[in-house]
Amino acid sequence: MKNKNFKQLMGYAENYKILTYISLLLSGISAILSLLPFIYIWMIIKEIIEVMPNFENATNIVHNGWMAVLFAGLSMLIYFIGLMCSHVSAFRVASNMKRKAMQHITHMPIGKIDEIGSGRLRKIVSESSAGTEMFLAHQLPDMAGAIVTSICMFLLLFVFDWKLGLVSLFPIAIGFFTMTKMTGKGMQEDMRKYQDSLEEMNNQAVEYVRGIPVVKTFGQTIHTFKKFKGSIDNYNDFCISYTKRCRRPMIAFQVFINSVFAFLIVVALFVANGGHVQNTFLLNLLFYIIYTPIIATVLNKVMFLSENTMLVNDCLQRINFIFEIKPLSETKENNKMKDHSIVLKDVSFKYENGKQNAIENINIAIPSNQTVALVGPSGGGKSTVASLISRFYDVTSGQILIGDVDIRNIKKEELMSTISFVFQNSKLLKASIYENVKMAKPTATKEEIMQALHLAQCDDIIEKLPEGVDTIIGSKGTYLSGGEQQRINIARVMLRNTKIVILDEATAFADPENERKIQKAFESLSKQKTVIVIAHRLTTIKNVNKIYVLKEGTVVEEGTHDHLLDKKGLYHKMWMDYQTSIAWKVGENNAK
């Protein structure tokens, strides 16, 4: 294991790292003691051979037997104490790693979190901390024991008969050679690919589950989610390929390290070819036959320890990937916004792995208490603009001003208390409706929460639920439709009562009845607020103060609904296409 990685682990252990060192020491002592029973067993056999056939003269058999039992028990006891120490330290490392990672994630840019994916982040934090816990609690003490055992074993091989010791080393050397085919840099790269494929599959699985409403709405199948299916196929292909590559080296390794006794028997047959074998040679041969099976156990530990070391190194690389993502800069100045107007000046932005700018030289001016809409083809940059205004990312170039103050110079807490969001896939927690709404403003009174629910058109939702506002969502078969969930989310925004509201495709998956109520809730929500609406249903934005049409990352048109229709540009085409699609759906329903 790399020294810097071990230092990092001990840094997470804090004052408990002394327990890790104690566990390594105790594991080494246990390894030495575990070899002594083999010597005492050999001494029993030696005494029997020396006195036969007068076995009554074998007076030390009981003593040697009890000594073998004593040292075996003592070895297990010391090893158990060492494991207790290593577990306490390992648990502290895992908990500190997880806690610090989650604290760092809370300060990461929200856009970056969304870009990485919650499934991947959860897997990195959970499995990386669990991987280091397993390594420190079990594998590191075993590694110390294996090293000490290997040294003692090597010395003992040459204590009784160096020739038999060399014979024992021959299959061990071959076994080590075959093991190199499965270890080294190639295996470390395979471990990285394996973890990557697991992360990708986990992340795509989460995204697929979240996309089930879309599947139900548009009648799609799993094959629509090519990334999810592709991640499963990639994982399957890698595992099969890796297993096939390791098959022959693994078989050879196991055969040779478990066949030391066979080589010894061949030598014994060769020596006994003359018909006479000295007792000394026979005793030494018996010792090696009794003792060498431990070689297989030790070498198996060494092989898996090398794999586990690579695994924990990979875990640290992945957790460090999170820590390497820098939080957005925070100002210490207490800059006050004069109003809640929003101005984008020559704003350009490129995603980290993007080949070109997602938006280019965007200029938008939104006066306080006005409602504007961002429309345009998919991929035009609408949601990117909304994310930048919310400071989910920082702009690549240009400025975004709120109340004449650059948002980078507004304290994070103040910015978050100024802007609220309603996304198309907003989530509810498995808690009561009351608690789900109250989380937006923990100090709110019950009257304020109930008023927010009323303004968000949630009265019918509360009336139909068995326990009203105290009904826990997701328990006892109680679930809400997508449109109903959106109304609960709007109630949250109502309760926060921020001066700027961003609505990103908030009615995308709502049925007509829910959409009508959501639009009514928006009317209450938008009063005396600066509102940005992103919508594909153009009928919902006819009456906004201004419409910005985005295409390929630039503003190509701007104006009111009537003005843009008169221009007969992109917005006019989108409007006509939308009207045609509505007429087609109505005609289809009438035909049915």
Is 16 exposed, middle or buried, given 0-12, 13-18 or 19+ CB atoms closer than 10 A? middle
- Could you say which DSSP state residue 539 is in? G
- Quickly state the pLDDT bin for 304 (edges 50, 70, 90): low
| Spatial distance between the Cα atoms of 167 and 163, rounded to a whole number of angstroms | 6
586 pLDDT band, cuts 50/70/90, is very low
Average pLDDT over residues 552-577: 90
Element (H, E) at 108: none
Q: Which residues contact 536 (CB under 8 A, 6 or more apart)?
A: 375, 505, 508
- pLDDT of residue 590 exceeding 70: no
Give residue 218's pLDDT band: very low, low, confident or very high (50, 70, 90): very low
Q: Is 372 left (phi over 0), alpha (psi -120 to 50) or beta?
A: beta
**Would the pLDDT of 556 be above 60?**
yes
Measuring CA to CA, how many Å separate 398 from each of 103, 388, 393, 395, 534? 30, 11, 13, 7, 22
Between CA 247 and CA 319 the distance in angstroms is 31
Most confident stretch, 144-153, 190-199, 364-373:
364-373
- What is the CATH architecture of 3-323? Up-down Bundle (1.20)
Domain 342-591 is found in CATH 3.40.50.300: yes
126-151: average pLDDT: 85
For the beta sheet containing 419-423, the strands, ordered from the edge strand earlier in sequence to the opposite edge, are 419-423, 500-504, 530-534, 371-375, 546-551, 554-559
pLDDT at 75: 93
Stronger pLDDT, 409 or 278, i.e. the higher one: 409
Helix (H, G, I), strand (E, B) or coil at 240: helix
Pair of tokens at residue 144: 């110390």
pLDDT tens for each residue of 32-82? 898 888 888 888 888 887 787 787 888 888 998 999 999 999 999 999 999
Question: Bigger pLDDT: 379 or 159?
Answer: 379
Q: Is 70 exceeded by the pLDDT of residue 217?
A: no
Taking the domains of the chain in order of start, what are their residue ranges?
3-323, 342-591
Rounded-to-integer distance, Cα 480 and Cα 429, Å: 12
